[in-house]
Amino acid sequence: MAIEQWLMVAIFAATVAGLIKNQKQPERVFIGATLCCLALSLVSVEEVLFNATNSGLVSLVLLIICSFALERTGFLRLLSQNLFRGSKTTALLRTLFSSALASAFTNNTAVVAALISPIKNNTLINPGKLLLPMSYAAILGGTLTLVGTSTNLIVNSLMIKQGQPGLGFFDFTAVGAVVLVCCMGVILLNLRVLPDQKVQTKAVLSYFVEAEVELNSDLIGKSIQDNGLRNLEALFLVEVIRGDQLITPVTPEHIIRGGDKLIFSGDVSKILVLQQFSGLRLFAEQDSLLQRNLTEVLLKPDSTIVGKTLKSSGFRARFDAAVVGIRREGGELSGKLGDITLLAGDFLVLAVGSDFVERQNLTKNFYIISGVKPDDMLLGWRDKATLFGFVGAIAASVVFSIPLVKCLIFYTAFLVASGCLTVNEIKRRFPIEIWLLVVSALTLANALENTGVAMIIANNIHLLLAGQGVMWAFVVIFLVTLLVTELITNNAAAVLVFPIAYNVAIGLDVSPMPFIMAVAFAASGSFISPYGYQTNVMVFNAGNYNLMHFVRFGLPVSVVYSVTCLYMIPLVFPF
């Protein structure tokens, strides 16, 4: 081999070693490899810039940006609130298949993030029996479509770079559906190996929050369970006040009436979720002060409002602020928010008006502690427009064969123009790590091909498998990708193995599609390691699992997944 080829082999080997050693920041490893290739003139600046605007990569970035708005719609909340009802078996099946189906059309990481809290808080199924299966179901669901997982989109971008037309939205579905059904059977049969365990939950300072059911509310006449008020993230319904009647504890079958005051306890940053319920008005909304940035204060002992209620103290007029929630250390709170007698040491979260900071009586009455940033939720027509707009963008791409990137560009523009997504939010949450990872990976693939190393590796694999046939090469590519996925991460595995797999197919003079699909499905098949896939990392921490839980539960799933993929891919995509 020439000197530049040996240099490329050294860079590639160092990249693999770096990814194994530094799994949490793979983009840094890839950037280092890219800079080495650029410094040694193994790739050109033009190639790097071209990779930065790859249409598959742009589609991936836009999809992630759009998911910021989708996370704030009521879709995932509606999904989670309808899971835990009926028998354990029904709830289990509903949770697993719902998470899989949702993951096919919404990024599976967002689905898992939305479902972790409801699963941990449910009283029907032990969370230890459900969190890990839910992660696996989301992974399986993500393999059903082009947008279900970032791995598929990365493979698509690598394919476009090779001059191929790119993958269709449902190209993965035939294989993914069979894999989903087979692996779900294994998951359900193997649940016994997962422990019943008490999940460690994050300590949250619980505030006392009030919301009133308006007379025209859609909640009226339905039970707490049917309205989805039972399994809210970080908020628990503790009391219902109906006239002079105090109802506690609140059963799931309790029927809501107009004028009911619902008293919640929990994380005050989640209160804007309550605004997504039709005709449910927060206490602070009575003064039209509920804003995105709230202020937390501590009531001083010499405050003039100690011993008074919020109503009798004239709180709104006195401080140009409305109380969103109250917290009292070491004390129980009950009743209407406005009727609670304030005591020194009470913590209040306030929705403040424009004159709040100018009031001269603040320092006498409060210690100003901090600002509170409530989770912003989309309401009214924006909520529906965001969800239906996403469905429309995907449908337009599928039905009218419009490039996905073009549909996502117009959908993102709509989100910004309608106020469903702000430019500041895009700047703040832009997926720079993923963008750098993919650009660097595409550039590394360029270098492997420019130096001829990818073809040399492919030829050596061909010689190694001489006389064994195309099927053996296909199996080896799949298993190598699967192994790299478990050792590193799904996305890194896809970008490392793809150029080799593609060149193996070209060298064998067969269609590259089965090899491309082998890389895509194998890179998503992380069921043994908690670090190979992002959803596994999320439930690993949330469910207090250990490595052996993944091995015992995931190994049978991985075997069935692999066998099913190896059988189905050549069937759907012949050599």
The CATH number that applies at residue 235 is: 3.30.70.1450
Terminal Cα-to-Cα distance of the chain (whole angstroms): 31
CB 108 within 8 A of CB 139: yes
CB 30 within 8 A of CB 15: yes
- Beta-sheet strands, E only, within 6-124: none
Examine residue 184 and state whether it is found in any structural domain, yes or no.
no
Given this model, what pLDDT does residue 570 score?
Answer: 94
Q: Name the domain count of the chain.
A: 2
What six digits make up the tokens of 180?
A: 């989903």
Same domain, 262 and 325: no
Please count the other Cβ atoms lying within 10 Å of the Cβ belonging to residue 214. 16
Give the Å distances, CA to CA, from 72 to 162, 306, 391, 404, 500.
37, 38, 16, 23, 40
Look at residues 227, 280, 276 and name the one whose alpha carbon lies nearest to residue 379: 276
Question: Does residue 201 register a pLDDT over 80?
Answer: no
User: Confidence class of residue 462 from pLDDT cuts 50, 70 and 90?
Assistant: low
Q: How many helices (H) and strands (E) in the chain?
A: 22, 9
What six digits make up the tokens of 487?
A: 């050792």
Residues 448-462, mean pLDDT to the nearest whole number: 76
For 563, half-sphere exposure in the C-beta direction (CA atoms, 13 angstrom radius) is 9
| Range name among 216-225, 364-373, 549-558 with the lowest pLDDT average | 364-373
Question: Does residue 100 register a pLDDT over 80?
Answer: yes
Examine residue 145 and state whether it is found in any structural domain, yes or no.
no
Domain boundary among 249, 266, 283: 266
At 351-393, the pLDDT tens digits run: 887 777 778 788 888 888 876 665 667 777 888 898 888 888 8
Could you write out the three-class secondary structure of 474-501? HHHHHHHHHHHHHHCCHHHHHHHHHHHH
Asked, as a colleague might, if the bond just before 249 is cis with ω within 30 of 0, I would say: yes
Residues 504-528, mean pLDDT to the nearest whole number: 90
CB 309 within 8 A of CB 339: yes
Question: Does residue 422 register a pLDDT over 80?
Answer: yes
Please return the burial class of 258, using the count of CB atoms within 10 Å of its CB with bins 0-12, 13-18 and 19+.
middle
Distance CA 554, CA 437 (A): 27
Range from 132-141, 157-166, 495-504 that averages highest in pLDDT: 132-141
Question: Does residue 133 register a pLDDT over 90?
Answer: yes
Name the one residue in this structure whose structure tokens are 């590796």.
457
Distance CA 415, CA 422 (A): 8
CB 284 within 8 A of CB 319: no
Question: Does residue 1 register a pLDDT over 80?
Answer: no
Given this model, what pLDDT does residue 535 score?
Answer: 81
Distance CA 206, CA 541 (A): 22
User: Confidence class of residue 401 from pLDDT cuts 50, 70 and 90?
Assistant: confident
Given this model, what pLDDT does residue 371 score?
Answer: 65
User: Confidence class of residue 319 from pLDDT cuts 50, 70 and 90?
Assistant: confident
Domain boundary among 372, 402, 417: 372
Please count the other Cβ atoms lying within 10 Å of the Cβ belonging to residue 27. 19
User: Confidence class of residue 409 from pLDDT cuts 50, 70 and 90?
Assistant: very high
Examine residue 231 and state whether it is found in any structural domain, yes or no.
yes
Distance CA 497, CA 284 (A): 55
Given this model, what pLDDT does residue 97 score?
Answer: 92
CB 321 within 8 A of CB 358: no
Same domain, 239 and 304: no
Examine residue 548 and state whether it is found in any structural domain, yes or no.
no
Examine residue 338 and state whether it is found in any structural domain, yes or no.
yes
Question: Does residue 487 register a pLDDT over 90?
Answer: no
Question: Does residue 520 register a pLDDT over 70?
Answer: yes
Distance CA 266, CA 268 (A): 6
Length in residues, the chain: 575
Residues 52-69, mean pLDDT to the nearest whole number: 80
Q: Where are the alpha helices (DSSP H) in 40-107?
A: 45-52, 55-70, 75-81, 88-105
Examine residue 280 and state whether it is found in any structural domain, yes or no.
no
Given this model, what pLDDT does residue 21 score?
Answer: 75
State what percent of residues in the chain have pLDDT above 70.
91
Backbone angles phi, psi at 232, to 5 degrees: -70, 145
| Range name among 101-105, 427-431, 556-560 with the lowest pLDDT average | 427-431
Strands 207-213 and 235-242: unpaired
Given this model, what pLDDT does residue 165 score?
Answer: 82
Distance CA 258, CA 216 (A): 7
For residue 223, give its domain range.
Answer: 207-266
Examine residue 223 and state whether it is found in any structural domain, yes or no.
yes
Distance CA 177, CA 179 (A): 5
Question: Does residue 556 register a pLDDT over 90?
Answer: yes
What six digits make up the tokens of 527?
A: 């069921």
Beta-ladder partners of 207: 266
Look at residues 38, 41, 67, 40 and name the one whose alpha carbon lies nearest to residue 52: 38
Residues 499-503, mean pLDDT to the nearest whole number: 85
Mean pLDDT over each residue of the chain, to the nearest integer: 83
State the Rg of the chain over Cα. Answer: 27
Question: Does residue 22 register a pLDDT over 80?
Answer: no
At 252-272, the pLDDT tens digits run: 889 999 999 998 888 777 777
Same domain, 308 and 254: no
Domain boundary among 250, 266, 282: 266
Residues 68-93, mean pLDDT to the nearest whole number: 77
Distance CA 240, CA 212 (A): 10
Residue 38's contacts (CB-CB under 8 Å, 6 or more residues apart) are 45, 48, 443
Examine residue 324 and state whether it is found in any structural domain, yes or no.
yes
Given this model, what pLDDT does residue 185 score?
Answer: 94
Given this model, what pLDDT does residue 355 score?
Answer: 77
Question: Does residue 396 register a pLDDT over 90?
Answer: no
Residue 161's contacts (CB-CB under 8 Å, 6 or more residues apart) are 51, 54, 56, 442, 445
CB 393 within 8 A of CB 65: no
Same domain, 261 and 298: no
Name the one residue in this structure whose structure tokens are 């992380």.
526
| Range name among 2-16, 179-193, 331-345, 485-499 with the lowest pLDDT average | 485-499
Beta-ladder partners of 299: 366
